[in-house]
Amino acid sequence: MGSRDGSGVSTGGQDYAADIDSIREAQARITPHVHRTPVLSSTSIDAVAGKQLFFKCECFQKAGAFKIRGASNSIFALDDEQASKGVVTHSSGNHAAAVALAAKLRGIPAHIVIPKNAPACKVDNVRRYGGNIIWSDVSIESRESVCKRVQEETGAVLVHPFNNKYTISGQGTVSLELLEQVPEIDTIIVPISGGGLISGVALAAKAINPSIRILAAEPKGADDSAQSKAAGKIITLPSTNTIADGLRAFLGDLTWPVVRDLVDDIIVVDDNAIVDAMKMCYEILKVAVEPSGAIGLAAVMSDEFKQSSAWHESSKIGIIVSGGNVDLGVLWESLYKR
């Protein structure tokens, strides 16, 4: 994979940050440290959706989300000298906990910069795994500046939440597992935020099956990826407003080319649809899913998806249930407002 500066590698004539080889290397590296998560299905949900749905339940992953894959790959790829100074990251949630846990598994310090508005349940996870919490203001600029200061003070290695080839390669192992578990899948729906998960999933899945469809699911209150696809360049928003706290980041220069080239479409849904999908996961699948993790089901249930002729041939659909760390206080409040 070359140096640790995050530079890309060539894939099929196009430079992307990862490829099927780096994703398979990641799988070998992280297998001792992560769970092989189950795939669930429900004939009741299939009947409502009019499709066969296969839920890849990363909500059952260590630290409650897929993020441990990328964090473990990044941290266990460090040499001993790099690792001895620890790692640092900035995150409002699942990535923070994942870095704290992966660092604990490797036996090195983890400095976690967290914005003051982060969900309490995710902050508790970081504490549980022994991460050293440093608070920042809410803005991405504050997060990044505090993170840079900590990095300079400690010499820790930055583990970026999404815009890093080791992170992307680690997240791509979700795709390898899913297509081993259900090879007949013709479409995968993935939550999109910074793009690390969908980049890894798309690079792996398209290498295994070039005809597979990759769809992104995005909240209306943070639809920068949909706007970016329409504009043909990265668009960032002045602010975001969605219950899906894990989907508020913007695409990076390593994830955008993959989203631009390999993601077939982006389905935008509102928060009400996300909450409805969460309820369906609770009531029918009997699985606790956070808003970001339920958005794939919300996308399948949307009129946009059902009425689009482009997706009529999608009959066996994999849905990445990205996490299950629910801030129950916010959830109950949103339900009572309805």
Of the chain, the percentage scoring pLDDT greater than 90 comes to 81
Residue 238 Cα to chain centre, angstroms: 22
- The reported pLDDT for the residue numbered 326 is 83
Between 7-11, 137-141, 231-235, 321-325, the lowest mean confidence (pLDDT) is in 7-11
pLDDT per residue as tens digits for the range 31-49: 999 999 999 999 999 999 9
Reported as half-sphere exposure (CB side, CA atoms, 13 A), residue 5 has a value of: 5
- The reported pLDDT for the residue numbered 2 is 35
Using the predicted structure, report yes or no on whether residue 6 has a pLDDT greater than 70. Answer: no
Please give the single-letter amino acid code of residue 279: K
C-alpha closest to that of 228 among 192, 203, 197: 192
- The reported pLDDT for the residue numbered 330 is 65
User: How many other β-carbons are positioned within 10 Å of the β-carbon of residue 13?
Assistant: 5
- The reported pLDDT for the residue numbered 122 is 79
Q: Of residues 51, 56, 67, 206, which has the active-site annotation? A: 67
3-state secondary structure (DSSP) of residue 250: coil
Residues 6 or more apart in contact with residue 322 via CB below 8 angstroms: 58, 59, 65, 66, 94, 190, 191, 197, 246, 290, 292, 293, 296
The mean pLDDT of the chain is: 92
Using the predicted structure, report yes or no on whether residue 15 has a pLDDT greater than 80. Answer: yes
Between 56-70, 181-195, 235-249, the lowest mean confidence (pLDDT) is in 235-249
Residues 6 or more apart in contact with residue 45 via CB below 8 angstroms: 53, 280, 284, 285, 297
- The reported pLDDT for the residue numbered 34 is 98
Q: Of residues 42, 92, 169, 314, which has the active-site annotation? A: 92
pLDDT per residue as tens digits for the range 87-125: 999 987 899 999 999 999 999 999 999 999 887 887 888
92 is catalytic: yes
- The reported pLDDT for the residue numbered 9 is 40
For residue 17, give the DSSP letter: S
- Give the whole-angstrom CA distance, residue 303 versus residue 187: 17
pLDDT per residue as tens digits for the range 275-329: 999 999 999 999 999 999 999 999 999 999 998 888 889 999 999 999 998 877 7
Strands of the 316-321 sheet, one edge to the other: 39-40, 52-57, 316-321, 187-191, 213-219, 265-269
Using the predicted structure, report yes or no on whether residue 8 has a pLDDT greater than 70. Answer: no
- The reported pLDDT for the residue numbered 16 is 97
193 is catalytic: no
Answer yes or no: are the C-beta atoms of 53 and 317 closer than 8 Å.
Answer: yes
- The reported pLDDT for the residue numbered 70 is 98
**Can you give the C-alpha Rg of the chain in angstroms?**
18
Using the predicted structure, report yes or no on whether residue 5 has a pLDDT greater than 50. Answer: no
Using the predicted structure, report yes or no on whether residue 337 has a pLDDT greater than 70. Answer: no
Q: Taking residues 251-264, what's their average pLDDT?
A: 97
Domains in the chain: ranges and CATH: 7-66+164-336 (3.40.50.1100), 67-158 (3.40.50.1100)
User: How many other β-carbons are positioned within 10 Å of the β-carbon of residue 234?
Assistant: 18
